[in-house]
Amino acid sequence: MEAGDGWLIRIRPPLGRLDRAQAMALHHAVTRYGNGRIDLTNRAALQIRGVAEANWQPLIELLVATSLVDPAPEREARRNVMLNPDWREGDDTHRIAIALLERIDEVPGLPAKMGVAIDAGVAPALSNASADFRFERGANGGLILRADGRAEGIPVEAGTEVDALVALARWFVATGGPISGRMARHAAPPPIMGTAVAPLPPRSRGETIRAADGLFRGASFGQIEAGELASCLSDSDVRAIRLTPWRGLILEGARPAAHPFADPDDPLLRVDACPGSPDCPQATVATRPLALRLAPHVEGHLHVSGCGKGCACPGAADVVLTGRHGRFDLARQARAGAPPLREGLAPDQISALFGAS
């Protein structure tokens, strides 16, 4: 898509994993054709920004040649599938993902933002990540398929998961779901396809990361420089890179001593902040310096937004600071631009409020 700083290319590597050759190709792509930085999205995808019009075609050819992008645009658009990053080869998450990717053409066309979370580990880990169809572990230990926004899902037998997904997606389309755009906003009661089962209580992000086959590499504000990617790959123990929706990567096979890793519970990984001023012309405030200062002092999810558009986080955060006329408005449990509790605060006033002076 076109953005203020050139073309923005979103990449969803199959299985949310890049082998070493793909990761090297990504490094080349972002240094040769992009702005030298990789964005990690909260749907476990990658973004390259700042691509010039003349570079768009060779970049796509490179990504197709390395199987990071499907050569068929329609298949690519349907491949909005996120895996719990702690999957192992042959487990339920991996098995369902392979089956789904093979039959992705059977899933009916859905609104662009809709996606599938394959989260069939010991307990759900992606409950807070954006998805519309969720494969999860049910409270009875079996697999369920849950329509987002519903408390319970339908049980699915091994080998029938894709059939169940296709049936649920067809029901969504047939009952007018595309008008609402997302499953959670579609009010129709889901079809009865067996006795409904609740999912197991979710596992924390930290527990899931620690169970994964590799080490976590956090990325403040969800950005990683091409040089940092190269430094990860300079460790020959790193077999592959897995994406997560948690502002960080998992380096498969990495040894702890070889990498300065962010703690998965680092407060900075609970912070969203758009580029703000001076990088964005809409901003009248600098966002990231304030976010860095406040991160250790704010409980829960902090969002610092340069304006009411809220590009870095479309949802609600525990604390949200929205820039306006060179100052910030403060709200809680809200989206950027929501009616504030306090208006027109300077950064120093905010730091004092949170004990960060």
Binding site for ligand SF4 (CB under 6 A): 274-276, 280, 282-283, 305-307, 309-311
Q: How far is the CB of 39 from ligand SF4 (least distance, A)?
A: 12
Angstrom distance (rounded) from CA 350 to CA 294: 9
**DSSP H helices in the chain:** 20-32, 53-65, 73-78, 92-102, 161-174, 177-180, 205-211, 226-233, 288-294, 347-353
User: Is there a contact between 161 and 244 (Cβ–Cβ < 8 Å)?
Assistant: no
Cβ distance to ligand SF4 smaller for residue 11 or 291? 291
Cβ distance to ligand SF4 smaller for residue 297 or 309? 309
User: Is there a contact between 321 and 314 (Cβ–Cβ < 8 Å)?
Assistant: no
Q: How far is the CB of 37 from ligand SF4 (least distance, A)?
A: 14
Q: Report which residue's Cβ sits closest to ligand SF4.
A: 306
Cβ distance to ligand SF4 smaller for residue 202 or 275? 275
User: Is there a contact between 223 and 48 (Cβ–Cβ < 8 Å)?
Assistant: no
Cβ distance to ligand SF4 smaller for residue 34 or 310? 310
40, 33, 35, 22: which is closest to 233 by C-alpha? 22
Cβ distance to ligand SF4 smaller for residue 259 or 324? 324
Q: How far is the CB of 326 from ligand SF4 (least distance, A)?
A: 12
Cβ distance to ligand SF4 smaller for residue 230 or 346? 346
Q: How far is the CB of 288 from ligand SF4 (least distance, A)?
A: 10
The residues pairing with 248 across neighbouring beta strands, listed in sequence order, are 218
Q: How far is the CB of 275 from ligand SF4 (least distance, A)?
A: 5
The residues pairing with 156 across neighbouring beta strands, listed in sequence order, are 143
Cβ distance to ligand SF4 smaller for residue 251 or 291? 291
DSSP letter for 238, please.
Answer: -
Angstrom distance (rounded) from CA 8 to CA 157: 40
Q: How far is the CB of 215 from ligand SF4 (least distance, A)?
A: 31
* Tokens standing for residue 31: 């240094």
272, 285, 255, 239: which is closest to 20 by C-alpha? 239
DSSP letter for 89, please.
Answer: T
Q: How far is the CB of 307 from ligand SF4 (least distance, A)?
A: 3
Q: Is the preceding omega at residue 155 within 30 degrees of 0, hence cis?
A: no
